[in-house]
């Protein structure tokens, strides 16, 4: 498309608010009689300026460097103008100025994207999810600062090589607080969050090309551990005079018989217990992680746990269904219980939710669709992971049976 704009660039001196005898060098962009002024933040003596040639007089090193700087900046403004022409935009002096200064959308930075993203999603995602994003962003700017030796980057600078460098940085990052190195799946989670932010930038047209086009995340599938019926019964039969251990046991079993995650148990109040369609007590709540509605009919074992804490002072004074402790202490105390019960698995609270899905429900013939609803899964494929675990257990048990009844040569008796 042939441009019909009238474009000119003038270099001039601004003498106001400057000490006598000095001036600040400015550019003036004029397009179709509309102007935009740009300060170059260069102060010179007025009597050293050649108004006819629009440059500094003399052949000193300082004069040569300043004149070279002016030529380079003139070229940058001309380049900004040509870019806008190629994009077939309605060009104005202010738009050329913005492109030159890097303040238009084409020159948004990583910091701009992070600020916009966090502000946009703040009311849409849970505070814990936002906290995870901010952790990923912390690592992102550590990489930018430590390895790339800068504080920010234009989005147009992000490419496949940047992503590979970021992945390598995360894998080799050494925490200073005694924690373990970042595991593969956590590395992929950090990169996945960056990918979501970059997708937002693409949709906002802040970046022309998605650097993730050729990048494939490599998650390592982990076996979801659960308790067998025997192990679950071992914990059920465990009793302790130590109050904290007894509470941890009860909370763990409550999760085994309801499928609720620990944070969702912490959020329960007596109002979450309602009379269900069958006339029995149900838990009706929402998963904090996804906001998905959850409806679980209460098994007698879960109801007994609730009733055993009905007179607990913390329950009475705080309007909660069950007393709770920190997740960190909870998992620490669970390991004590596992040792006493002879359970060699790495017992964590989340294993209770896996146990509900496998040992308690699917292994007892509850349809997978029903289990999926009770777990609050948004996709049936998520629940099918547990079904595969159950199928594997069936296969292992049947192989033992096959071995037992395997064909053995019949010895014919001679009479």
Report field, pTM of the whole predicted structure over 0.85: no
> Could you tell me the two tokens for 37?
């002024």
CA–CA separation, 260 and 294 (whole Å): 9
User: Is 208 within a domain?
Assistant: no
Q: For the chain, what is the mean pLDDT?
A: 89
DSSP letter at 156 equals: G
The tokens 């069936």 sit on which residue? 394
Residue 97: pLDDT above 80? Answer: yes
Mean pLDDT of 26-45: 93
Q: Give the end of a domain, one of 45, 80, 106.
A: 106
Q: Which residues pair with 273 in a beta bridge?
A: 283
pLDDT tens per residue, range 108-137:
889 999 999 999 998 888 888 899 999 999
Nearest to 130 by CA among 142, 143, 144, 119: 119
pLDDT number for residue 3: 56
Q: Could you tell me if 319 and 259 lie in one domain?
A: yes
User: Is 216 within a domain?
Assistant: no
pLDDT tens per residue, range 137-158:
999 999 999 988 999 998 988 9
pLDDT tens per residue, range 351-396:
999 999 999 999 888 999 999 999 999 888 888 888 777 776 667 6
Residues whose CB falls within 8 Å of the CB of residue 246, separated by 6 or more in sequence, listed in order? 239, 240
pLDDT number for residue 1: 43
User: Is 406 within a domain?
Assistant: no
Q: Could you tell me if 197 and 313 lie in one domain?
A: no
CA–CA separation, 292 and 284 (whole Å): 11
DSSP letter at 322 equals: S
User: Is 215 within a domain?
Assistant: no
pLDDT band at 2 (very low <50, low <70, confident <90, very high): very low
Q: Give the end of a domain, one of 57, 77, 106.
A: 106
Q: Could you tell me if 125 and 248 lie in one domain?
A: no
pLDDT number for residue 89: 74
User: Is 324 within a domain?
Assistant: yes
pLDDT number for residue 335: 94
Q: Could you tell me if 243 and 388 lie in one domain?
A: yes
Q: Could you tell me if 381 and 282 lie in one domain?
A: yes
User: Is 192 within a domain?
Assistant: yes
Q: Could you tell me if 303 and 375 lie in one domain?
A: yes
> Could you tell me the two tokens for 369?
């669709």
Q: Could you tell me if 249 and 396 lie in one domain?
A: yes
User: Is 1 within a domain?
Assistant: no
Residue 336: pLDDT above 50? Answer: yes
At residue 43, φ and ψ (nearest 5 deg) are: -100, 135
pLDDT number for residue 66: 95
Q: Could you tell me if 305 and 347 lie in one domain?
A: yes
The CATH number of the domain holding residue 241 is: 1.10.443.10
The CATH number of the domain holding residue 188 is: 1.10.150
Q: How many domains does the structure of the chain reveal?
A: 3
CA–CA separation, 276 and 257 (whole Å): 17
pLDDT band at 29 (very low <50, low <70, confident <90, very high): very high
Q: Give the end of a domain, one of 44, 74, 106.
A: 106
pLDDT tens per residue, range 145-193:
998 899 999 898 899 999 999 999 999 998 877 677 899 999 999 999 9
Of the chain, the percentage scoring pLDDT greater than 70 comes to: 94
Q: Could you tell me if 235 and 115 lie in one domain?
A: no
Q: Could you tell me if 335 and 191 lie in one domain?
A: no
Tell me which residue range forms the domain holding 246.
229-401
Q: How far is CA 149 from the centre of its chain?
A: 24
The number of C-alpha atoms within 13 Å of 126 and in the hemisphere containing its C-beta is 11
pLDDT tens per residue, range 3-28:
568 899 999 999 988 899 999 999 99
Q: Could you tell me if 263 and 390 lie in one domain?
A: yes
User: Is 224 within a domain?
Assistant: no
């Amino acid at each position: 498309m042939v441009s019909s704009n009238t474009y000119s660039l003038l270099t001039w001196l601004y003498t106001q608010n400057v000490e006598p005898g000095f001036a600040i060098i400015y550019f003036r962009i004029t397009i179709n009689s509309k102007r935009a002024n740009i300060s170059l933040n260069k102060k010179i003596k007025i009597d050293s300026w050649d108004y006819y040639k629009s440059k500094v007089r003399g052949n000193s090193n300082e004069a040569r460097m300043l004149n070279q700087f002016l030529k380079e900046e003139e070229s940058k403004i001309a380049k900004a103008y040509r870019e806008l022409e190629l994009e077939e935009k309605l060009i104005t002096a202010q738009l050329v100025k913005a492109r030159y200064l890097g303040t238009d959308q084409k020159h948004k930075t990583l910091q701009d994207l992070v600020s916009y993203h966090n502000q946009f999603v703040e009311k849409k995602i849970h505070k814990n999810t936002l906290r995870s994003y901010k952790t990923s962003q912390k690592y992102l700017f550590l990489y930018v600062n430590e390895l790339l030796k800068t504080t920010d980057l234009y989005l147009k600078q992000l490419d496949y090589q940047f992503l590979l460098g970021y992945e390598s940085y995360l894998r080799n990052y050494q925490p200073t607080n005694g924690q373990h190195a970042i595991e593969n799946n956590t590395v992929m989670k950090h990169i996945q969050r960056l990918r979501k932010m970059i997708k937002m930038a693409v949709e906002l047209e802040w970046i022309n090309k998605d650097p993730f086009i050729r990048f494939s995340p490599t998650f390592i599938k982990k076996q979801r551990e659960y308790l067998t019926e025997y192990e679950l019964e071992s914990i059920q039969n465990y009793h302790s005079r130590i109050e904290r251990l007894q509470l941890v046991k009860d909370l763990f079993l409550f999760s085994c018989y309801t499928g609720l995650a620990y944070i969702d148990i912490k959020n329960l109040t007596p109002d979450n217990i309602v009379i269900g369609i069958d006339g029995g007590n149900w838990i009706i709540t929402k998963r904090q992680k996804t906001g998905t509605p959850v409806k679980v009919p209460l098994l007698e074992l879960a109801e007994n746990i609730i009733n055993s804490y009905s007179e607990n002072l913390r329950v009475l004074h705080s309007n909660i269904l069950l007393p709770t402790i920190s997740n960190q202490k909870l998992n620490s105390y669970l390991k004590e219980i596992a040792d006493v019960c002879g359970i060699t698995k790495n017992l964590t609270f989340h294993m209770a939710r896996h146990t509900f899905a496998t040992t308690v429900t699917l292994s007892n013939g509850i349809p997978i669709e029903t289990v999926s609803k009770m777990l609050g899964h948004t996709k049936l494929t998520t629940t099918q992971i547990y079904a595969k675990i159950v199928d594997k257990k069936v296969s292992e048990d049947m192989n033992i049976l096959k071995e037992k009844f395997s064909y053995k040569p019949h010895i014919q008796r001679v009479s």
